[in-house]
Amino acid sequence: MTTTETKKIGVFPASGKFGGCTIKHLLPLVPAANLILISRKPEKLAEHSRLGAVIRYADYEDDTSFQRAFDGVGILFLMSYPSCEHEYRSRAHQKAIDAARHSGVKHIFYSSLAFAGNLTKTTAAFIMRANLDTEAYLDEQGRTHGPDFTYTILRQGLYHESFPLYLSFFDLHKTRDTENTVIKIPHDGFAPGVAWAKREELAEATAKIIGLYARNPLGFPFTNSTVLFSGPRVLTLRDVIDVLVKITGRDEKINIKEVSIDEYASQPHIGPLMTYHGVDLSREWATAWQAIRNGECAVVTPVLKEILGREPQDFETTMRNEFGGRN
């Protein structure tokens, strides 16, 4: 990788929260002119265009949009399609990977999810299946086309900010006047828990690891391998509630009530939030709690700390910054 063109870094999708955070942390590491930012909403990237980045359109929903989207990209940071579907997401990811390879992309960083335990390849979580399919597809492409094509899988820890997903979309402030709040999920809230990680720090570490490869691809230690970014400690779902109560000074008691998957899915607020392409996947999503119960998300690794060069932020600090001033 010696030419300016092959060193260009592509980001897709580039205008979402995680993509935006990653770009923010890439900009101090590489010139904006070395970035090709690809999004279904390119107008959201106008600021980066003014800095010199190339902005392009592509959309997981539009297969034809991939035809030239990755031209000139040497390194691609690929994030997953934002849903919990299985086959649809797997096909979308594979089409993007095929298009990237056709355009001459040499290395793909794929943003996966921190289910499936300590780098294992099995999961109880429906939401992880498309990620495992994509990981396997990248491995197949790497074995078939190496050394002309390589990859790195980044299993991102469950975000601090994503806790409502695992607490039945609990809204800390919407319900603060309720005397007794009951969170109905198919889990008792006890151990094993989750090694939660801050989204901003995961994006920063992602940018740094991409920059490390861009500077020295031959010496890069994570070629054709999987990296697990986790937070510094494991908190159970009940621990999460205790932190939220502590920092907001709520007086009422908040309880977790373990219910069946059917009872969880039948709550009126769940279905609309878990419907993709007209299909309610509430019951499929609920398998995430079985994965947590199995300890799939309770693995702590030192990699995030090593890449950041500091101790990752703990859940309470993130939540205190988010909610502490809203009492």
pLDDT, tens digit, 9 for 90 and up, residues 119-157: 999 999 999 999 999 999 999 999 999 899 999 999 999
- The C-alpha atoms of residue 298 and residue 107 are separated, in whole angstroms, by 29
pLDDT at 327: 43
pLDDT above 70 (res 5):
no
User: What would be the CATH architecture of the domain defined by 9-157+198-229?
Assistant: 3-Layer(aba) Sandwich (3.40)
Is the distance from CB of 205 to CB of 29 less than 8 angstroms?
no
The proportion of the chain whose per-residue pLDDT surpasses 70, expressed as a percent, equals 94
Is the distance from CB of 303 to CB of 114 less than 8 angstroms?
no
pLDDT at 251: 65
User: pLDDT digits over 250-278, tens only?
Assistant: 766 789 999 999 999 999 999 999 999 99
Token code pair at residue 277: 């392409």
- The C-alpha atoms of residue 259 and residue 61 are separated, in whole angstroms, by 35
Model confidence at 175, in pLDDT bands (50, 70, 90)? low
The proportion of the chain whose per-residue pLDDT surpasses 90, expressed as a percent, equals 87
Model confidence at 2, in pLDDT bands (50, 70, 90)? very low
- The C-alpha atoms of residue 199 and residue 71 are separated, in whole angstroms, by 29
The pTM (predicted TM-score) of the whole model is 0.94
DSSP 107: E
Model confidence at 3, in pLDDT bands (50, 70, 90)? very low
Mean residue pLDDT across the chain? 93
pLDDT above 60 (res 170):
yes
- What are the φ/ψ torsions at residue 85 (nearest 5 degrees)? -65, 165
Q: Which residue has the tokens 């690929």?
A: 78
Is the distance from CB of 48 to CB of 30 less than 8 angstroms?
no
pLDDT above 70 (res 179):
no
Please name the residues in contact with 203: beta carbons below 8 A apart, sequence gap of 6 or more: 18, 21, 22, 24, 25
3-class DSSP state of 174 = coil
Where exactly are the structural domains of the chain? 9-157+198-229, 160-193+232-299+314-326
Please name the residues in contact with 279: beta carbons below 8 A apart, sequence gap of 6 or more: 85
Is the distance from CB of 177 to CB of 281 less than 8 angstroms?
no
Cα–Cα distances (Å) from 195 to 163, 169, 302, in that order, read: 12, 19, 12
Please name the residues in contact with 137: beta carbons below 8 A apart, sequence gap of 6 or more: 90, 93, 94, 97
pLDDT at 181: 81
Mean pLDDT check: name the lowest of 3-12, 156-165, 306-315: 3-12
Please name the residues in contact with 88: beta carbons below 8 A apart, sequence gap of 6 or more: 81, 130, 276, 277
- The C-alpha atoms of residue 112 and residue 245 are separated, in whole angstroms, by 31
The residue count of the chain comes to: 327
pLDDT above 80 (res 202):
yes
Is the distance from CB of 189 to CB of 237 less than 8 angstroms?
yes
DSSP line for 231-299? -SS-B-HHHHHHHHHHHHT--SEEEEEE--HHHHHHSTTHHHHTEETTEE-HHHHTHHHHHHHTTTT--
pLDDT at 322: 84
pLDDT above 90 (res 87):
yes
